[in-house]
């Protein structure tokens, strides 16, 4: 029996064979060019979507592939949460917190203004969404540059990586607010300061509940799970938390992604200690191969959905240019945050790349019918440009800082 009318499991198998091979080859090509694999996967999707074959043209509307892609997004946010901990949030420091907050608030404001100037007829809802979509930093490329130039232990690197933890949280809280606000407007509900405050309260309550559960309940659950000797017990319990929190977030009127992130946030490495002690892998190691399978599908699909022909439209190019300027200017405000003795320009440039979270915004924007083809394609251009430009600009800023630093006497 076909899982979807008109489609078979054999068709899905063929689609996966094509998508996975292309994704891995493109990711490898990007890595050789010292770019993050996500950029290669995104570009590969754009190339696939523009090919004149029935199979590749059907990828953007394939419901089975879309479901796998959505699972990939949940796992991506779950992994982001696993890489951060409640302790990380508490220890982020005042400097990193200033960097994250300034960058998020200013980028949202400048992004909204630029979207309004570039596309005045788009409507305020879409303009706010576009401003929100470019607030979140993807520091993977920044971390790679720091490693390449031997600056991983620098004050700038520590500041950026600390800010990235809070930046993820702020970006997802903003995502919850914006999507909840849009969903309410689409249902004909009036939007007021009180309703937005209620959305914010629900989001913070979910994160607070996750923290409370993580501190008090999850250690006991994982101690019980450790008594199960059947293979895969740790993975089953960990993924169950991810999916349960995702469901709970949706029941609260929030994006399921918020729940997946919250689940990852509370599951620290100590939850895996009993399993690791008997020779098994940790939870993050167990999730990684599943993520390596599903997450690239999401990024390839995002590329497929981008209409390459829209990149030559003046409207798309103008909007992409304005959003890229907003993305750069917004993060340049981060230079206010660092202490003296830090290369403030390097910190600001290190916060500039946009990546996974911005693409998640774009995906949700299409699902909510907020973004049209031009706006969606413009966001993809912003991701590509900020990711490609950052390494060169960051290396230049460090070289400039060294030239301006007086030599020791």
Per-residue pLDDT tens for 48-90? Answer: 988 888 888 788 888 889 899 989 988 988 887 887 766 666 6
Of 319, 357, 343, 299, nearest in space to 149 by CA: 343
Q: How far is CA 199 from the centre of its chain?
A: 21
Query: Within a domain: residue 359?
Result: yes
Domain count for the chain:
1
Indicate the angle between helix axes 356-367 and 155-186, nearest 10 degrees.
0
Q: What is the pLDDT of residue 341?
A: 65
Q: What is the pLDDT of residue 249?
A: 81
3 inside domain: no
Alpha-carbon torsion (62, 260, 40, 127), positive or negative = positive
Query: For residue 135, what is the domain's CATH number?
Result: 1.20.1530.20
Considering the entire predicted model, what is its pTM?
A: 0.76
Domain, as residue range, for 307: 81-399
- Two tokens, residue 175: 């995502």
Q: Is residue 62 part of a domain?
A: no
**Does any domain span residue 406?**
no
Q: 274-290 pLDDT, tens per residue?
A: 888 888 888 989 999 99
Residue 296 to residues 27, 43, 60, 84, 405, Cα–Cα distance (Å): 9, 12, 14, 21, 42
> pLDDT by residue (tens digit) across 8-25?
888 889 999 999 999 999
Asked if residue 267 belongs to a domain, the reply is: yes
Report yes or no: 218 and 271 within 8 Å, Cβ to Cβ: yes
* Within a domain: 13: no
């Amino acid at each position: 029996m076909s899982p979807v009318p008109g489609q078979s499991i054999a068709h899905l198998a063929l689609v996966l064979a094509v998508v996975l091979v292309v994704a891995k080859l493109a990711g490898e090509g990007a890595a050789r060019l010292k770019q993050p694999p996500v950029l290669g996967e995104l570009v590969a999707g754009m190339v696939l979507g523009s090919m004149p074959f029935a199979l590749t043209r059907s990828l953007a509307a394939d419901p089975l592939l879309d479901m796998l892609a959505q699972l990939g997004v949940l796992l991506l946010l779950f992994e982001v949460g696993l890489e951060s901990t409640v302790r990380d949030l508490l220890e982020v420091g005042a400097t990193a917190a200033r960097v994250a907050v300034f960058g998020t608030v200013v980028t949202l404001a400048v992004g909204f203004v630029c979207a309004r100037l570039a596309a005045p007829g788009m409507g305020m809802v879409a303009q706010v969404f576009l401003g929100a979509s470019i607030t979140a930093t993807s520091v993977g490329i920044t971390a790679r540059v720091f490693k390449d130039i031997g600056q991983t232990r620098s004050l700038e690197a520590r500041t950026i990586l600390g800010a990235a933890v809070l930046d993820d949280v702020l970006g997802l809280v903003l995502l919850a607010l914006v999507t909840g606000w849009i969903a309410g407007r689409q249902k004909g509900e009036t939007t007021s300061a009180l309703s937005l405050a209620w959305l914010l309260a629900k989001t913070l309550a979910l994160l607070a509940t996750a923290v409370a559960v993580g501190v008090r309940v999850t250690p006991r659950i994982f101690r019980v799970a450790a008594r199960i000797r059947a293979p895969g017990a740790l993975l089953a319990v960990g993924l169950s938390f991810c999916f349960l929190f995702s469901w709970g977030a949706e029941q609260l009127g929030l994006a399921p992604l918020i729940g997946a992130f919250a689940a990852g946030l509370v599951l620290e490495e100590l939850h895996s200690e009993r399993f690791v002690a008997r020779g098994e892998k940790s939870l993050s190691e167990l999730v990684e191969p599943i993520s390596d399978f599903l997450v690239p599908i999401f990024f390839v699909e995002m590329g497929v959905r981008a209409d390459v022909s829209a990149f030559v439209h003046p409207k798309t190019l103008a909007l992409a240019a304005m959003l890229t300027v907003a993305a750069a200017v917004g993060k340049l405000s981060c230079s206010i945050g660092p202490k003296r003795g830090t290369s403030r320009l390097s910190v600001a440039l290190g916060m500039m790349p946009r990546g996974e979270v911005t693409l998640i915004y774009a995906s949700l924007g299409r699902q909510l019918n907020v973004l049209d083809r031009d706006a969606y394609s413009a966001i993809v251009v912003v991701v590509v440009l900020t990711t490609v430009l950052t390494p060169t600009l960051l290396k230049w800023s460090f070289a400039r800082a060294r030239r301006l630093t007086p030599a020791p006497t």
